[in-house]
Structure 1
Amino acid sequence: MINDIVAAVNNVLWGDGQLLIVMLLVTGVWFTYRLGFIQLKHFGHMFSVLKGSKQGDASGISSFQALCTSLSARVGTGNLAGVAVAISLGGPGAIFWMWVIALLGMATGFAESVLGQLYKVRDDNGEYRGGPAYYIKQGLKNKWLAIVFSLCLFMGYGFVFSAVQANTITDAWNNAYGIPTFYGGLLIITLAGLIVVGGFRAIARFSEYVIPVMGVGYALVAIGITLFNIVDVPAMVWDIVTHAFGLQEAGAGAFGAAVKHGIQRGLYSNEAGSGSVPHAAAGATPYPPHPVSQGYVQMLGVFLDTMVLCTCTAVIILLAGGANGTGMEGIRLTQSAMEYHLGSGGEDFVAAAITLFAFTSVVANYAYGESNLHMFRLDNKIGRICYTSGYLLMILWGSQAALPDVWAMADMALGLMTVINIIAILWLTPTIVSISKDYFRKREAGKVPEYKTGDCEIQGSSEKGIW
């Protein structure tokens, strides 16, 4: 009965009902319009905000660390397998629609990250915590909805998602090198435990060093493959554009498949609107000292995840003729394409990429769950020990389990989180617009934008002493 209920809910959220795809599309268009096409007009400023982003303080991590932490969770196996699935089911045109939803998602990511910063709180250690539960509680004055969101987040990011990522890693190790899944799981919980025991700051420091190396390394491989196959690039771009608008023989059917799978996989990858990234955004001490500056930083995260890393995977697959393959999808298509370009070393490269991409997600997921301990007054030694123990045990279990039913529960948790978060940020639109205009005015006046309580009208109230 439980499986039937989960399946029915997921069918409405992700399946035939396509509720979430419609909600996220509408939300992206809404904030793009209300914020004056901010992702296009302020594209350059988005990068310039990073110049002062390396410094944190006793209360918060740096904005750069917050960006890397959010990318740790965003950049996962979906960047390798999800793009391949989109191409398998939707053809090359799916990549074009993945780009479109990323551009819209940048505005949504901006909006939710601004709220995460504005309504953040200090925990018992004096460190910043925040996220949708906090802006629902303080901005909308709706405690029960905040608690429901936190419970969904604990189930998804706190426990289940890390188990699934661990399963992906141990399965890759087992297939490539014959390592038993149990021993692979022990290695993962040992490494993860050494990092997460240091809390949010340790996770941020880990992300700050690993994510740039991982992302740049993967991008350089893709650039090298592109340059080596430069004569085929114009034809590849033409295929993407023509398939995106159904201009090939298949016509309307190909157009519909390209739109559906490109949008769906893009949404899964960049997480804009799901309510996960505001937890990383809230943990930062931003520069300029204004909530909107963290909106720009996390908007950049959507761009890097989808427009850069997902595009790298797409280029690798399409230049190997992957769109014409049959019987392959997911990570196998990516592995096949990499072997085409790099020979036998391609399989080892993909195995290494899976390990790094999935492991960074495992670690960042812990941080998102920990950020919500304060909601239940569990941000103390006992609360953290219980949470960490459950988290590590779920990783060990997940490393050996068959996970289709758990995946379904994870999808339901993420879907419910997203529905609640979208309702909240749409409800808080007046605050998002008001505080954004405050930033724009101060910047246009030639000042370094700085926010203080009372500078503009907001819904509800932020915690005293934060601003």
Structure 2
Amino acid sequence: MTPAPLTAPTALPAATLAEQLGQVDDFLYTYVLAALLIAVGLYLTIRTRAVQARHFGTMVRTLTRSRGGAEGGISSFQAFAVGLAARVGIGNIAGVAIAVLMGGPGALLWMWVVALIGMATAFIESTLAQVFKERGRDFTFRGGPAYYIKNGLGSRAWGAVFAVLCIISVGVTVVMVQTNSLAGVINATVPSVEPWMVGVFLIMLTGPVVLGGLKSVARITEWMAPVMALVYVAMTVVVLALNITELPGVLRSILWGALGADQALYGVAGGIVAAILNGVRRGLFSNEAGLGTVPNAAGTATTAHPVRQGLIQSFGVFIDTILVCTATGLLILLATGTYAPGTYTADNARGVGAVLTQQAVVEHLGAWTTWPMVVLIFVLVFSTVLGCYSYSQVNVNYLGGQRRAEQVFGLTLTAAAFAGTILDLPVVWALADIALGLLGLLNLVVIVRLAPWALGALRDFDAQLRAGRVPVFVGRGNPHLPGDLPGGVWDGTTAAPGGTAAEKAGGNPAPATGPAEQH
């Protein structure tokens, strides 16, 4: 019997692929990551004695005093701005819209819960990035999960696993999500502008910046990220002022929705499970607390004490979710002519997320805001792409890549930015969720194991404040730490690149006396 001729395998239909990825995505976030994220956040909140509450004032003061002082390196404020640029992106526009469409108004409250708990997680992971950072070239440092896995747990191999996962998830899939949504918004506004045209324009803007390296990205995001966040929040304040009488009803719907009390009103989107699932998922995707992404920026900063950068990055979670995500949620919930709860599936909700937010602003403020919103969304996406490059470059360096490898990756990220504009949106969203979920699982396990080092640094910081000193960190012979830190960054014997007088010693000379910061 003659065997049948071999034929090429049939390609899996895009719809089927999206459905399968969606099932994996739902399982990961429903049964694994959401529970672990909240559990770790509560654990670290207790262990730090609610650092996000008792040091909130210190966060604000540290941020306002963190500009400059790096002398050729990357300042604390620049590292914060890079993290903020990556956090405040399409997740704040499209992601929040998706959460509200699929989970009802109550999803917004669960986003708040995740953010407030996650501030402790963000503090620990960013402090660890500073504690275990290494010297880079060109007056900069390198730090992040790959580095604290290697230097804290002694596992170079698992550090490499994280680095590869981060490069793929952040440097490719997240970039594609951002540019995919941007192309959708522009095409919906001007149908004659094809998605590939948006991709070409992004190549022209992104390529020159990322090929300039980490310092180039830091210089751009230093002013772009804070300005765009302020403009967006200010616009929301205007909308709230115009709709002040309707605000109590919206806040009530958020509370009832979070408890599942309005399921009959909002249909599937009103269930408490849907509210929790969508609020946690989109909150995590937006503020990134616990995912291990922001520490890659935190570890590059030149600072006198690791806790300072931990506090600054923790405050970034507050800005991202409590301010910017809330702004989007309220814009949509107040737009009664635009928001239609309970009428969307997962796929078509993802397809209209950013467009819905744009339409809500038009409903509130008029048609003249259409193009300003397009510009705002474009800036959000562009800055996030730059932040993604920064995160990924740190991991490229960890894997041994230097200037040439950085440039190759810059070209790869630029290609991903183009590809995202022309690929199917549900598949891209699912891939980004899954990739970030795997990244988060690894990082959460690691930071729990290494938490004693960050907690020791926090005790050291608090002790110096109580003694009336300006906190300066010493990594050897420090009674608050579990042991001596490896390397020469914090040992007080070798000058670190850049920084103030204290920071030139890696932040390790005898603590300078001076007016203490008040809690």
TM-score, with structure 2 as normaliser: 0.84
> What amino acid is the match of 2:161?
V
Structure 1 position 165, deviation (Å): 2.0
In 1, Cα distance between equivalents of 2:426 and 2:446: 30
Q: Does 1:331 align with 2:368?
A: no
Task: Structure 2: give runs of 5+ residues left out of the alignment.
Answer: 1-8, 491-505, 507-519
Mean alpha-carbon deviation: is it higher for 66-75 or for 157-166? 157-166
Q: How far apart are 1:347 and its partner, in Å?
A: 3.1
Aligned equivalent of 2:410: 388
- In 1, the alpha carbon distance for the partners of 2:102 and 2:133 equals 41
| Structure 1 CA distance for aligned equivalents of residues 410 and 69 of structure 2 | 25
Match of 1:302 in 2: 317
Q: Does 1:269 align with 2:273?
A: no
1:93 corresponds to:
106
In 2, Cα distance between the equivalents of 1:401 and 1:126?
39
User: How many residue pairs get matched?
Assistant: 464
What is the aligned-residue identity percentage? Answer: 36
CA distance, structure 2, for counterparts of residue 78 and residue 165 of structure 1: 8
Q: Distance in 2 between matches of 1:139 and 1:7?
A: 39
CA deviation vs aligned residue, 1:174-201 (integer Å, no higher than 9, x gap):
3322223333222211111222222111
> C-alpha separation between the residues in 1 aligned to 2:242 and 2:40?
40
Corresponding position of 1:240: 254
Amino acid at match of 1:274: L
Deviates more, 1:246-255 or 1:445-454: 246-255
Secondary structure of the 1:285 match is coil
- Partner of 1:189 in structure 2? 203
2-structure distance, mates of 1:401, 1:192? 19
**Match of residue 212, structure 1, among 209, 226, 234:** 226
Could you tell me which runs of 5 or more consecutive residues in structure 1 were left unpaired when the two chains were aligned.
none
Taking a change above 3 Å as real, the CA distance of residues 458 and 10 of structure 1, as seen in their structure-2 partners, is farther
1:226 & 1:399 partners in 2: Cα distance? Answer: 33
| Pairwise CA distance, 1:14 | 4.1
Does residue 159 (structure 1) correspond to residue 172 (structure 2)? The answer is yes
* CA gap 1:428/1:323 in 2 versus in 1, 3 angstroms: same
In the other structure, the counterpart of 2:187 is 174
Amino acid in the other structure paired with 1:266? G
Task: Name 2:271's counterpart in structure 1.
Answer: 254
2:134–2:489: 8 Å Cα contact kept in structure 1?
no
* C-alpha distance in structure 1 between counterparts of 2:179 and 2:463, whole Å: 47
Please give the residue correspondences for 1:410-449 in structure 2 after superposition, counting only pairs within 5 Å.
410-449=432-471
Q: Describe the shift of the 1:401–1:244 C-alpha distance in structure 2 as closer, same or farther (beyond 3 A).
A: closer
Select between 293-302 and 394-403 the one with higher mean Cα deviation: 394-403
Q: Distance in 2 between matches of 1:255 and 1:294?
A: 36
1:198 aligns to 2:212 (yes or no): yes
Q: Answer whether contact 1:141 1:460 (CA < 8 A) is retained.
A: no
Distance 1:94 1:394, change over 3 A: closer
After superposition, what is the alpha-carbon deviation per residue over 1:10-34, rounded to whole angstroms, capped at 9, x for unaligned? 7456436531111111111010010
Q: CA distance change for structure 1 residues 263 and 396 in 2, over 3 Å: closer, same or farther? A: closer
Counterpart Cα distance in 2 of 1:7 and 1:427: 35
SS in 1 for 2:271: helix
1:311 aligned residue: 326
CA–CA separation in structure 1 for the residues paired with 2:112 and 2:293: 21
Q: Judging changes above 3 Å, is the alpha-carbon distance between structure 1 residues 405 and 97 closer, same or farther for their aligned structure 2 residues?
A: closer
2:481 paired residue among 454, 457, 460: 457
The corresponding residue for 2:85 is: 72
Equivalent residues in 2 for 1:336-355 (5 A)? Answer: 336-355=359-378
Q: Secondary structure at the match of 2:198?
A: helix
CA displacement at 1:6 relative to structure 2 = 10
Q: Which runs of 4+ in 1 moved over 6 A?
A: 1-10
TM-superposed CA distance for 1:86, in Å, is 1.7
Distance in 1 between residues matched to 2:102 and 2:417, nearest whole Å: 31
- Normalising by structure 1, we get a TM-score of 0.92
Does structure 1 conserve the Cα–Cα contact (< 8 Å) formed by 2:140 and 2:301? no
Query: Do 1:27 and 1:426's aligned partners in 2 also have CA atoms closer than 8 Å?
Result: yes
